[in-house]
Amino acid sequence: MLKSKILIVDDSEDVRLLIRKTLENNFILEEAQTSDEVMTKAYDFKPDLIVLDIMLPDTSGYEICSQLKSKEEFKNTPIIFLSSKVGSNSRITGYKLGAIQYIEKPFEPNELKEVITAVLKSVSSIDTSEIQNFDDIVLNIPSQEVHVTGEKIHFTSSEFKIIHLLLKNKNRVLSREKILDHISPGNFSANDRMIDTYISALRRKIKPSHFSIQSVYGEGYKITLAS
């Protein structure tokens, strides 16, 4: 079985060494310390997942994440933020930019390994039927492209997973916990506010369609099709 490739981005040699010792037996690893190195190695190495620090010497991990997600080659590459920036605002910013996980430093190396394994398993298990039509919303699963009433709309990787999950479970109420576990398995630090942020963005993006996402007090969300 081929090993997955992980790009580790951190300006601390000690952190990179710790991650390398934790992951080297199970994954193929490459490292970067600056934004220029990240983009060069991302194109050359073609990682299956990126572990990204936020506080880098030449720019922020947020900016790097935004750059990567704007490229066709990396828009579906899972990104895990690993940072000393704590608090829900930092995590929410990371998720809105398209990161799939956010782990605060100091971290438990084995937890990072388990999160990476879970994320890669989740990505590999996504339904690979090429095109899925849901009335006036059409999903291209391999490319994670979304067309709403015929117009291509940009969705982040997490947004795509949520809309796909909701549409597959049309008229069924899904709890915030279920949605969170679907997009970010094993992430115990995220909260309801992050899911609410995603839902708000999705409502705006699917507004031209006949679908609407409804809040069910105390339960979660469901997507329905107007009659």
Say whether pTM exceeds 0.85.
Answer: no
Span 131-225: which CATH code?
Answer: 1.10.10.10
In 10 A of CB 91, how many CB atoms?
24
The fold adopted by the segment(s) 5-124 is Rossmann fold (3.40.50)
Summarize pLDDT for 139-155 with one digit per residue, the tens: 988 888 899 998 999 99
Within the chain, which residue ranges are assigned CATH 1.10.10.10?
A: 131-225
Alpha helices in 72-138 (DSSP H): 88-96, 109-124
Q: Exposed/middle/buried for 151, CB within 10 Å: 0-12, 13-18, 19+?
A: exposed
Within the chain, which residue ranges are assigned CATH 3.40.50.2300?
A: 5-124
Summarize pLDDT for 32-56 with one digit per residue, the tens: 998 889 999 999 999 999 999 998 8
pLDDT band for position 195 (cuts 50, 70, 90): confident
Q: How far apart are CA 195 and CA 90, in angstroms?
A: 14
